[in-house]
Every structure is written in structure tokens, then in C-alpha cells.
A and B are shown apart, each in its own frame.
Chain A
Amino acid sequence: GDSVTQMEGPVTLSEEAFLTINCTYTATGYPSLFWYVQYPGEGLQLLLKATKADDKGSNKGFEATYRKETTSFHLEKGSVQVSDSAVYFCAFNSGGGADGLTFGKGTHLIIQP
């Protein structure tokens, strides 16, 4: 069945370190891929998305590339900040935007000064 596998956390990094959070998916058809972020005490917010193969989504210094051949959508950032500390969720839907999302378990990222 449809599923998302992402790195289990917590992931602890020092400020200005390079970040990679791995995400792979199993889906039928041609899904749209998303990264959501949840800051403490807040709801999930869309961080970035990609809707077709080889698309790169980017926002706030984060980026992820839709890799159909490896069914992956790894999240990267070149230099993390303390304010990036949050839980990050990889997700997809089956297309059209109207479908509900299938989520990974989330990765808790902790950035230390």
C-alpha cells in the first residue's frame, strides 16, 4: 500500500551544519510530494512541494528534488539555524490536490547554538 518512510529522529545538529532528511515513498500513479514543518505549539505548515519528476521545491533555504527513479524526496539545507528546530513531515497525495495526504512519521530536528 501507499506509504512514506523518513529518517527517525531526533536529529541533532550544530548551527550552520548541513542538513539532510531522507524520505522515500511508495505510491501508485504520479503523486505530488510535500514537506511540512511543525514548530512547537503550532499546526503543520507547508514548507515546499514538487508536483512532477525532477521538479525541485525550495523555500527558506530548504530544497528537495522529486526523484522518480529512486522514489525519493530528500530534504536539504546548506546551513541550519536554531530557528529551524521543529518536526518535519514528508508526505504525498495521489494528485489533483483534492486527496488527503499520506504522511511519514516525522523527523524531530534539534539545532544547537
Chain B
Amino acid sequence: GAVVSQHPSRVICKSGTSVKIECRSLDFQATTMFWYRQFPKQSLMLMATSNEGSKATYEQGVEKDKFLINHASLTLSTLTVTSAHPEDSSFYICSARGLAEGGGSYNEQFFGPGTRLTVL
């Protein structure tokens, strides 16, 4: 099956610093990656959609200068939270869909395990 990893799984940082979260597709080429944010006891909220080699498309209300997304290769997307503040503390989840090994494409999204960000 298709596997998506995230790194780190947990990060604690000081207010004002920047934090980078990596999302990797381990056994398939991810032509599209999605970034979600989940608050406690809330649903996952789509933040942005990125296609390999092009700029990310952000959902309404998500600051693109605050949450920098790079999808430079078919197996890696990064989310950088710039000048993080305590209100950015949350659970960030990525998902990916794309090309299966041996041909064909995946119609479903495969999710990473998530990254817990705590800003002090």
C-alpha cells in the first residue's frame, strides 16, 4: 500500500521561531499533496493544496506568508510555519495522491500520521 510519512511527529518551539514539517510519500510519486490542520475535538481543516512544481493553492483565511508550502519533488512537500505564535499550536496532517509504482494512479488520498506543534 501507499505510505506517507511526516517528520517530526512532535515539535515544541519558542514564539517567533520558524518550524518546518516534512511530508514524504515513501513508495509512490505524489503529484498532489494536501495540508490539513486539526484542533482538539475538531475536524480536519484543509489549509492548502500543492501540485508538484507549482505554487500551492491556499484555502480562504489561511495566510500564505505564514504557512509556506513547498512541493519541489514528487516525494516531498514541506510546510514551514513562520514566526510561530501560541495560536499556531495544532496538529498538522498531510495527505498525498499520485502515481502508483508500475503505472496507474491513485484516486484516494493517503494520510501521514500527523505532526503535533506546540508553540510556547
Which residues of A pack against B, CB within 8 Å?
4, 36, 41-46, 49, 89, 97-106
Contacts and interface: CB of A to CB of B under 8 A. Distances in A.
A106 B113 contact: no
Interface in B9-42: 32, 34, 36, 41-42
B108 A49 contact: yes
Task: Indicate the member of A43, A101, A105 with the most B CB atoms within 10 Å.
Answer: A43
Contacts of A46: 108-109
B111 A89 contact: no
B107 interface: yes
B120 interface: no
Interface residues of B, number: 23
Given A43-B114, A101-B95, A102-B46, 9 more contacts: A36-B111, A43-B110, A89-B44, A97-B108, A98-B97, A99-B49, A100-B46, A101-B44, A101-B109
Contact of A43 (B107, B108, B112): B112
A90 to B, nearest CB: 9
B54 interface: no
Given A97-B107, A100-B46, A105 B113 contact: no
A109 B114 CA distance: 20
| Nearest 5 Cβ contacts at the A-B interface | A100-B46, A44-B111, A43-B111, A103-B43, A43-B113
A51 B61 CA distance: 29
B79 interface: no
B117 interface: no
A4 B44 CA distance: 11
Contacts of B95: 44, 101
B43 A104 contact: yes
Contacts of B108: 46, 49, 97
Contact of B34 (A45, A89, A100): A100
B93 A105 contact: no
B76 interface: no
Interface string B100-118: 0000000111111110000
A64 B59 CA distance: 29
